Structure 1
Amino acid sequence: MWVVDAATAVAFVERVFDPARIRPLVLVSTSHRVGDRPLLDADALREQAGELAEIAVMADDAASWTLSKHLDKLSAWGGAVRVYLPDATRADPWQRHPLIQVAPARPHVALGQITAHLRSAADMPARTPAPLTVVPAPGGEDESARQDRGDAVRREAELDRFAAHLADRERLLREKDAVIADLRQQVRKLTKQLRTARESAGPELVAVYADPARQFCHEVEQRWLTTVSEAEREQRPLAPYRLGRDWMSSLEAIELVDRSKILDVVVEVLTGRVVDNVARRVRRMRSSDGGGTAPRVRDDGAKAWRCDIKQRAASAPRLMWWRLPDNIVELGRVAAHDDMQLR
């Protein structure tokens, strides 16, 4: 029995197409389902086949890949068994060399099919139980009976070949169905991700002003109009606000969060919704003097606040602002978590 590995695969292929080969050559492939081993007992096959065929068994998955490259559709895979008839050529249709599928629970069925193919190739009748004792006619079996028996064997072999072909086509269909199902699942996943991304991004930001500060204020108003319903706008108006000296430069420098997300948080701050959103973690900023425990208050009486823009992210960005005594909001900066600079 020939154990075919990656190193001897080419020699095996040469044997498949060797014009001097007069016996069928049987290749037993391996299956991932049983740990990269054959589904069929190769020793039982060798004992059953006797001198009818040469037996070869793939060593591992590497041998399977190598043989697939050299034999293409004439190879065997997934535990199936291929019977290469004599006079094989590379131009042969794959149907000429039977491919027998092996059911793990019923390997004896495949063993019987393989033996039938081998006996058919050797022009020998398959051994079947004879429940009745047949007394041959004087002078031995007549020519008509021999011909009928030969026809029956050939029909059985043809049926076996057709069954193997049908099983192979069914396997290909199952593989294609699995690929299609996987692709559909990927499409659903990507569609969901795209929808989520579009929803989180909000309306497209269109530049209508050349001045960056004026453009930003326009975007704040548009975001307020699109995120606060008309019925709520009277109760949730935009508070009077202004842009601090470092606001626009911080927007240009920040790379941790997109502009659309910043607009969402600014609208929450200006409408007062930010205090109701637990995820924002709104809190007073502390003074850098006196051990950093006193609330930070500017000379004009403005109080410093900050909240989270994103959570569980690298350097989790924060939005910082001043609330003046007359309740005007001054947007200060967008910065990383550890950046407390605010003027």
Structure 2
Amino acid sequence: MRATLSATKDILLGVSPWVPNQSEFGLDSLTAQEMTAALAGGVPGAKIEDLRVEIDSRGTTDRARLRLVWNEAGRRAGLPDTAFAKGTSSQLGPRTIVSGFGCHTYESRFFTQIQPALSDLTITPFISRSGIGGRYVIAFEDLARRGEVTLYNADDEASKEHAEAVIDLLAKLHGRFWRSPRFHTDLSWLETYSRRPGYPFMQRFFTWSEQKFMKQDRVVPNPVRRLTKQYVQNQPALVKVWESMPQTLCHGDCHLGNTFSNPDGTAGIYDWQVFHKMNGLRDFAYFMMHSIPTELRRAEEHNLLRRYLDGLAEAGAGSEAPSFAEAFDTYRLLTIDGWIAIVFTLAAGGMQPDDRMEVTAVRAINTLVDLDVEKAIAAAV
């Protein structure tokens, strides 16, 4: 009951057009003075004389490029003249979802508490703060300053090389936080899937989204229709199954559009709104079904899983890393979680461009059929 009341309050705050201290959050809250303080430490006399916010897109969050005009001292020191920022959504629906599920507070806390341990795998933050009602703002590096960085959209096709780089990244992420003692100390606030903000409403959201999605005009094979309904009807039991597995820190939304390729070919990842404690194969399954072209996935699926398991053991799991057979069964089961995310996004609308999500849906459907996930779900419940 307490969790339901708390989630209801957060949703109502997200719906509200105004909350206390709102001026401290969002893209328009960033000032030249605080950006100077964040970027010019150790450079005497450096100062941002002008800061311009150029809106890039509006969706789950509002995003913008920041143009920074430095004085002579800042220019001589080579301080960055661009940065990026994301903050409070100006759209009612996305802001309500962000607020209800605590996405804004989680992402802000990621950058203040967790990012230093993963600085080689993600972006560098300059400013990060959050309030109530989905209000927050984060300013971070312009990746273009690293050199030839490749950014992706969700409907692009991951090459074999980038797929391998992302799998290496996930192995490092999960290995470093494998059964982490920090989950009982400074990260004790980090919750499992079923204890994150907003979970009391998940069953209703998924029931609604499954019904709406299946009425939309697209080809969905009968096995996928059945397994989707199976998940919705048995979600609590399935969540118990995968939350009983060894836990690590999972990104939670590791599709291709949240990754990038560094000049040296290594991968990076950003957008940490939905990270949580979970078995790492959930991230592996999510990336495989969302982002890899079907024929490449079919050809490289086993090789990529072996690569992940080897990297996981090396990065921290050691002898506790699962066997290939065990991991493959878990991978099959956890694809359903990534599929439900697609169903919900397409049903809700406005969170990602629909045409991109349609490409992702086709890849995911092929994965679900190839792996006979309907059978895996039936065995689990």
Q: TM-score, normalised on structure 2?
A: 0.18
Q: TM-score, normalised on structure 1?
A: 0.20
Larger Rg: 1
